[in-house]
Structure 1
């Protein structure tokens, strides 16, 4: 075996002087304080303990259940005419009751794979330091034990598909620990030569945490479900390794390298993971065999050479940002909540969102979920599923504009899976063409309305626009990349199928205008003039906004691809005759067909503002009246809301070109929130945990992604024809620069500004590309002659 060479102890200053990092002076006690790493499929949550190190392990493909039976309620469509008749008669109470017949099962749950423990006999610890370097995608820990300096280093490699942990001691033979593994899942642990191994399987059933299910909440079956395997190789140059029953002891080592390989039997959304699954045991063994003779430096270099080109594409610099070393991240966050100016923290949060996306979204057709990929719970909040009425989509708002298009691919590929199950759901629940997805989905591409076959409240169970919303991401990807083959062969057929379903959901109202029937507005409740509080109606603004956006995308796609003009003409006819946006007597954009009140005027969802963001058909240039109505709706809702919702509202204010309001809410998104175990019961507002995870609360990663996307939106906005420079620049960011953002023109852009004024911009892209640059109401058309252009206004 090759000797492991250690540079870490010789170069501590170099390793611990990264520009972008989260750092702390103590180990984590709670999940919301721990630091996370991942390679886009597997991930680890690292606590950094000195007496006992705890590392949660996750694999993005480890879920409860097995392939969904999309034909679970084959005659549900028979109830649709009666629901529509009730709505036509404006009997909303009856409609709310009848629509429960159009429900199916709950989604499955994302599962925690297990926990790795390193138990040390440690005393007299001082000078503790723990960091997550965004520049290197690594966690680094050092502390002094007596007279000895201990260092630990962690990263999760995408090219080698293993987690690498290095432990080193300045004093010879100063490393002693016990290595063990445990899991909440059905599992066994055993040892091989210098190896700790575990195998097990996910539950066949893991009911949502909000469902009271008693002992039946989690169920295992030895012949069903997704299997997992874990293999940890222990490598040391001089220490002694003792294999015990179910654990390993390492004694008197100066340095140790642990190689952690995990895998599951998941083989696709429509494959039985037990009978048609991948051989997960062979896979983990193969990965270990490929890397165990490589040095730490080689493995780390391969990891960084893969990661850095993605992360370094974008660089945000704010004048006066200070440095990372001024204050630990948790203290920094607390100080910021008191009003302290901290542009470094604001920059760090933006780049942390990009780091999290790279780390959690590199698995073909398996996107980042509600917690990215870091989940410690066997019944996680909201099953840690794909919540399709905002949260799954919000995860990917930063993918294109912050130059991480490759990380968008898992979500775009997942839409292909949804189309297959969704076509069955469209037929059996609505007797409709095309395909549909509802409120929740999971790794098995479940598309049915949820609610446990009639037990669910229609306010969340029956929303049917998940396919419509997600399909707009396909056109977004084309706009940023100009990948015509993708548009023709993948995006357009999926977009068309989603539109075909929408066409079958549209009926004409009493004025001869197209509206959806039935309809709900995500998780919000209306109050009629007769004081009925309900969810089911026809023509909810959110439905029509998403349908408008999708139809307009398809029309633009036909203009690019040619052909299919009959379908284009049909969509154009429907668009012209669709029930128009309405402005209520309070001046706000109506959420409901009628000018009804909201049961909760400050409700966290603002789905009826979809046309402003993430849609593009309401904007300051072309529809200023509707933009003003959106602004009034936001004023009524106020700024206090949950984490993910605040991330959305920041983007909305940016689209309204109000940089100072967007910045105010960005600061609020960074409001310090205690870990869940210690959080006061009355602290329910959104914000940020000590490890910079978004606090819904509890943790949901969509707020991190939405907040990061909003920073880019404040600095650059675009259409396929125009680029808006600094449209929502806040006064607080008077001087700075941004490099590497992407635009819907297909061009990359760099910007510099000083004292609130644009200094210069640089465009990069395909030679001959022409676009219009707009800054503070002034526009000019430019053309890239040689693939780049430097200019100013």
Structure 2
């Protein structure tokens, strides 16, 4: 073997080995067969357009979604304008201990249910090549946000490459064959929604609309549905004109998807419903989507357009080459994804398809790089689903195949929407937080009316359990038809307001806090102040109150949810008041209001430790109807809040630990994600890691029939979180927890490796963010930090804590410094 040939051979061998290691280790999901079920598919997105790729051979099915395609139109917040008048009777029943009556009366403080996130359509590529398929591979590379399919038929290799570009607002599908003229396919559209498809020359279109109401059980409104909150006479006259315009107009959000083929050879053909290519070698399919959504308070049937937007995006993209589009896509995506890298040390896991990896891992085998892959996948999903202002990632991100999706694929604000964004700041994706923050601003508009009409509070804004793209803020329940345990909960504004402070304290963006954030935080705090009442001990409590989706059981056997002084309510109000006070101090404004908040904060009913040593969820030490319930809202102060800590409040931290022990580890996927974060905040790395492994437990696709099905909370073959069914919040919560195990922080300190498990005795991380505008890079071995680099975005001071070592550090804007923590400074 001559030296040139030998070197070439070694390079090729090394490259092949490196590709396999990369694919197996951190960034590539891959499979040796097409997806049969949604939970096996691979998803792509640019933060607005979503694509679900099955990678079939004879037929390649791709579900299309748009983040702005929902049923309904702008909400009418005054739907139950006298609901607040029922509050005195509810409070009287609670004071008398008549909880059954309070439960029934609480139903009177309900409104409509949310609208639903809708599926746009299905794009199907029907291939004409028949024969035995060999060497099939389907993959998603998280480092480039590109999916690929390759296989051979009778010695001819066929490949497809897919990506959804944010800069060019387009989906691209590149098809190639290794033999000239072997590419033959037809493309067609279909949709579960009312729609029509048409092919003309080299263009295929799908046009349709979402229903004005998706769920037949939801309450239907008349023309007042779109009316202003408090119309003047002039506005009423204008409304009548608009009503005449709408009289003969089909209502609902319109959508359009357009497709064109760019070929290098072969012949483009079409029928009235299909577009195809014959005898080609290489081709690129361009797909655009758009909707007529024009804003949460605008009519999509009057104020918005879909088809012109889709045409414009397609025209601009079609003028660019595949290589130019791909280069722009990768550069745009990697500026976010590449900010963070994670290594957890050596692994001996074999090279297996991702679904087989999960099965092996579920049997207790080591696979550190699967753990990294899951973390990276969470960041990938947030970049791919959360880049549209005012439209945050929903229960399924942006990937929904169902006409009637689970829980309407809406914004569930008693945990799930917030959990979606736990990783935004600490995993260096602050820009992906903006869709939620701008959505909160929308909520404050409808929420002002909700505060007044449902809760009798004339200052601030309120929001409840569910919402949708129309920023619906009212309590749900179909006007008294649903159970208070989930329908009657007015604390979303308190929880959401803490996200505003998180964005500020991670970015140190004072202008955002001043102009956008603080007014929203203040409005949430104002509502909470107005909602509080005084108990018999002179303490401030909420009433009526519920603890999200959980129930108590009384000695007489009564099971209910309505009570007063719920621990979860007060924990969220504590955080809301504390962060609003801090924001006021940062901006040096509202001293009088700040003093009022400080006084109320001191008067809140204190935490109680129950007879089992647990943190009480209820005002009294009642039994839980379900002691292992998936919600742990009363632990909010431990995480995502930070006023319960092992150091500052050891008794409450220990009670929180006991609560988690009672609840156990078996729960739904998203709840596992939450519990990992809670264990991390208790600085119990091994228990957090145990639950992380529980979260990555393999779960069969929902529709798969097997003799011994694997069900429960965990992870589907495509790494989607299994509630079950699929909910994306577990992916986000799990990824956030990895960062939480490595770095924890508050406004004054950064704690390094606070919950490092024994299994991660060596590793490295780069790009994790800490509060105060800092960024951390470190590596460790034998669970001991070997190197630490800290940088500052805006300049500032913090206290670094590592074990029993503390060191104060002050950095200038943009400064990066290597810190030797173990060398104590001379006095």
Do the structures match in fold with TM over 0.5?
yes
Q: Match of 2:521?
A: 495
SS of aligned partner of 2:331:
helix
CA RMSD of aligned residues (A): 1.7
Task: Kindly indicate whether the alpha-carbon contact (under 8 Å) linking 1:117 and 1:179 is maintained by their aligned counterparts in 2.
Answer: yes
Q: Match of 1:773?
A: 800
What is the Cα deviation at residue 109 of structure 1?
0.4
C-alpha separation between the residues in 2 aligned to 1:95 and 1:72? 22
Q: Match of 1:511?
A: 537
- Count of matched residue positions in the alignment of Structure 1 and Structure 2: 772
C-alpha separation between the residues in 2 aligned to 1:494 and 1:528? 38
1:725 pairs, out of 732, 736, 752, with 752
Q: Match of 1:173?
A: 181
In structure 1, runs of 5+ residues without a counterpart are: 1-11, 212-220
Q: Match of 1:711?
A: 738
What is the Cα deviation at residue 119 of structure 1?
0.6
Q: Match of 1:784?
A: 811
Q: Match of 2:88?
A: 81
SS of aligned partner of 1:234:
strand
How big is each residue's C-alpha offset from its partner over 1:356-398, in whole Å with a ceiling of 9 and x where there is no partner? Answer: 0000000011000000000000000000000000000000000
Task: Kindly indicate whether the alpha-carbon contact (under 8 Å) linking 1:228 and 1:262 is maintained by their aligned counterparts in 2.
Answer: yes
Q: Match of 1:379?
A: 404
Q: Match of 1:160?
A: 168
What is the Cα deviation at residue 321 of structure 1?
3.5
What is the Cα deviation at residue 532 of structure 1?
1.8
How big is each residue's C-alpha offset from its partner over 1:672-721, in whole Å with a ceiling of 9 and x where there is no partner? Answer: 00000016697542000000000000000000000000000000000111
What is the Cα deviation at residue 504 of structure 1?
1.2
Q: Match of 1:22?
A: 29
Q: Match of 1:294?
A: 320
1:52 pairs, out of 59, 64, 70, with 59
Q: Match of 2:309?
A: 283
Task: Kindly indicate whether the alpha-carbon contact (under 8 Å) linking 2:700 and 2:709 is maintained by their aligned counterparts in 1.
Answer: no
Q: Match of 1:425?
A: 450
2:552 pairs, out of 502, 522, 526, with 526
How big is each residue's C-alpha offset from its partner over 1:468-492, in whole Å with a ceiling of 9 and x where there is no partner? Answer: 1111100000000000011111111
Note closer, same or farther for the CA distance 1:682–1:47 as it changes in structure 2 (3 Å cut). Answer: closer
C-alpha separation between the residues in 2 aligned to 1:683 and 1:509? 48
Task: Kindly indicate whether the alpha-carbon contact (under 8 Å) linking 2:347 and 2:368 is maintained by their aligned counterparts in 1.
Answer: yes
Q: Match of 1:389?
A: 414
Q: Match of 2:371?
A: 346
Q: Match of 1:151?
A: 159
What is the Cα deviation at residue 208 of structure 1?
7.9
1:358 matched to 2:383: yes
Task: Kindly indicate whether the alpha-carbon contact (under 8 Å) linking 1:209 and 1:379 is maintained by their aligned counterparts in 2.
Answer: no
What is the Cα deviation at residue 778 of structure 1?
2.1
TM-score, normalization by structure 1: 0.95
Note closer, same or farther for the CA distance 1:209–1:763 as it changes in structure 2 (3 Å cut). Answer: farther
How big is each residue's C-alpha offset from its partner over 1:739-763, in whole Å with a ceiling of 9 and x where there is no partner? Answer: 0010012100111110111112111
SS of aligned partner of 1:184:
coil
C-alpha separation between the residues in 2 aligned to 1:750 and 1:257? 41
1:610 pairs, out of 622, 633, 636, with 636
How big is each residue's C-alpha offset from its partner over 1:468-522, in whole Å with a ceiling of 9 and x where there is no partner? Answer: 1111100000000000011111111101111111111111100000000110000
Q: Match of 1:214?
A: none
1:738 pairs, out of 765, 772, 784, with 765
SS of aligned partner of 2:77:
coil
SS of aligned partner of 1:198:
strand
SS of aligned partner of 1:631:
helix
C-alpha separation between the residues in 2 aligned to 1:208 and 1:86? 34
SS of aligned partner of 2:670:
helix
How big is each residue's C-alpha offset from its partner over 1:546-574, in whole Å with a ceiling of 9 and x where there is no partner? Answer: 00001000111111001201111111111
Note closer, same or farther for the CA distance 1:768–1:201 as it changes in structure 2 (3 Å cut). Answer: closer
Q: Match of 1:6?
A: none
C-alpha separation between the residues in 2 aligned to 1:315 and 1:54? 33
What is the Cα deviation at residue 767 of structure 1?
7.0
C-alpha separation between the residues in 2 aligned to 1:208 and 1:389? 24
Task: Kindly indicate whether the alpha-carbon contact (under 8 Å) linking 2:112 and 2:218 is maintained by their aligned counterparts in 1.
Answer: no
Q: Match of 2:232?
A: none
C-alpha separation between the residues in 2 aligned to 1:784 and 1:463? 43
How big is each residue's C-alpha offset from its partner over 1:440-487, in whole Å with a ceiling of 9 and x where there is no partner? Answer: 000000111111000010000001101111111000000000000111
Q: Match of 2:68?
A: 61
Q: Match of 1:556?
A: 582
Task: Kindly indicate whether the alpha-carbon contact (under 8 Å) linking 1:32 and 1:675 is maintained by their aligned counterparts in 2.
Answer: yes
TM-score, normalization by structure 2: 0.92
What is the Cα deviation at residue 588 of structure 1?
0.5
C-alpha separation between the residues in 2 aligned to 1:321 and 1:307? 28
Q: Match of 2:626?
A: 600
How big is each residue's C-alpha offset from its partner over 1:289-311, in whole Å with a ceiling of 9 and x where there is no partner? Answer: 11212211110000001000100
Task: Kindly indicate whether the alpha-carbon contact (under 8 Å) linking 1:767 and 1:788 is maintained by their aligned counterparts in 2.
Answer: no
C-alpha separation between the residues in 2 aligned to 1:84 and 1:523? 20
SS of aligned partner of 1:71:
helix
What is the Cα deviation at residue 528 of structure 1?
2.1
Note closer, same or farther for the CA distance 1:768–1:458 as it changes in structure 2 (3 Å cut). Answer: closer
Task: Kindly indicate whether the alpha-carbon contact (under 8 Å) linking 1:402 and 1:709 is maintained by their aligned counterparts in 2.
Answer: yes
Task: Kindly indicate whether the alpha-carbon contact (under 8 Å) linking 1:772 and 1:780 is maintained by their aligned counterparts in 2.
Answer: yes
Task: Kindly indicate whether the alpha-carbon contact (under 8 Å) linking 1:179 and 1:247 is maintained by their aligned counterparts in 2.
Answer: yes
C-alpha separation between the residues in 1 aligned to 2:361 and 2:208? 44
SS of aligned partner of 1:326:
coil
1:401 matched to 2:408: no
Task: Kindly indicate whether the alpha-carbon contact (under 8 Å) linking 1:209 and 1:380 is maintained by their aligned counterparts in 2.
Answer: no
